[in-house]
Amino acid sequence: MKKVTKAVFPVGGMGTRFLPATKSIPKELLPIIDKPLIQYAVEEAIEAGIETLIFITSASKHAISDHFDPMPDLRAKFLSQKKYDLVEKLDTLPLEVKRVFIPQGQPLGLGHAVLQAESMIEDDEMFAVILADDFIQADINPLRRLIDIAEVNGRATISVEAVEESRISSYGVIAPGHWQDDFAAIDEIVEKPEVALAPSNFGVIGRYVLPQSVFAVLSQTQMDDNQEIQLTDALKQLININGLQAVKLAGQRFDCGSQEGFVLANLHVAMQDKKLNTQIKAYLSDC
């Protein structure tokens, strides 16, 4: 089996929870301090060995492409001014990494977004899916860990974490088999169950490694009541076809699709900076 070298980034969503900011700014470009969410996600992918970035986008998201474009004129200006720190900040993407942008057409759910990448994935190839909304800080690259597990047997592998009871109904929730350290086969997956019906407290988060065969399943997946194709529905089918695996997240995740998670992620990163840490503590002491 080929190594996992391609990653799909579904970035066609409307970002309604961040209106009016997202009228003109893609939510994936909202910054954690000074770096956009999508750049953190791309850096994670590249560090994990990804060579081709596949963005499933919409007509209003051209700014994401602009963000990763080289800016030779500005680079030359900063070099002439010896502002090398600013030159470094312009290097948002290594030149050897490929970028592909595919329009989703209509925002018909995560499963529909992933399905748009079918032409980019070969028959014997696995690929990653990364949701930039899930901002993760970890000592071990979370995507690399998924890839390592998935490449052993070619089975779909997804990232999960323990979720508070009050938030269970917002997640796809798995029924894991026997855990071997951080890894387990999945017996069942349920989309947004009530707490009493949840098979565990492990919710699916935005990191996946999937086989090419998922496209055939997605193409046959029916839309839900919201007229969306859910990736979770396809994952249920993969359990019976070739198996589905889970890896516990070893790190801290912030759901930056919510205002609360976005603010906490910014605070978390800010407190790692000595100057900002001091300023924030001083401000809070005066509140």
**DSSP labels, 229-264:** --HHHHHHHHHHHT-EEEEE--SEEEETTSHHHHHH
Instruction: Name the H helices within the chain.
Output: 37-47, 62-68, 72-80, 84-90, 110-115, 142-153, 214-219, 231-241, 259-270, 274-285
Per this entry, what is the length of the chain? 287
- Choose among 15, 212, 223, 246: nearest CA to 133: 15
Is the pTM higher than 0.85? yes
Separation of alpha carbons 198 and 192, rounded Å: 8
Of the pLDDT bands very low, low, confident and very high (cuts 50, 70, 90), residue 94 is confident
What single DSSP character describes residue 223? P
CB atoms within 10 A of CB 38: 26
**CB distance 229 to 218 below 8 Å:** yes
Residue ranges per structural domain of the chain: 6-285
Per-residue model confidence (pLDDT) at position 224: 84
Q: Report which of residues 86 and 42 the model is more confident about.
A: 42
Decide if pLDDT at 131 tops 70: yes
User: What is the share, in percent, of the chain residues with pLDDT greater than 70?
Assistant: 100
Among 144, 146, 48, smallest CA distance to 97 is for 48
Residues 6-285, CATH architecture:
Alpha-Beta Complex (3.90)
The bridge status of strand 252-255 relative to strand 202-211 is unpaired
Q: Are strands 52-57 and 183-191 parallel, antiparallel or unpaired?
A: unpaired
How large is the average pLDDT for residues 160-186? Answer: 92
Per residue in 175-211, pLDDT (tens digit) is 999 999 899 999 999 988 999 899 999 999 999 999 9
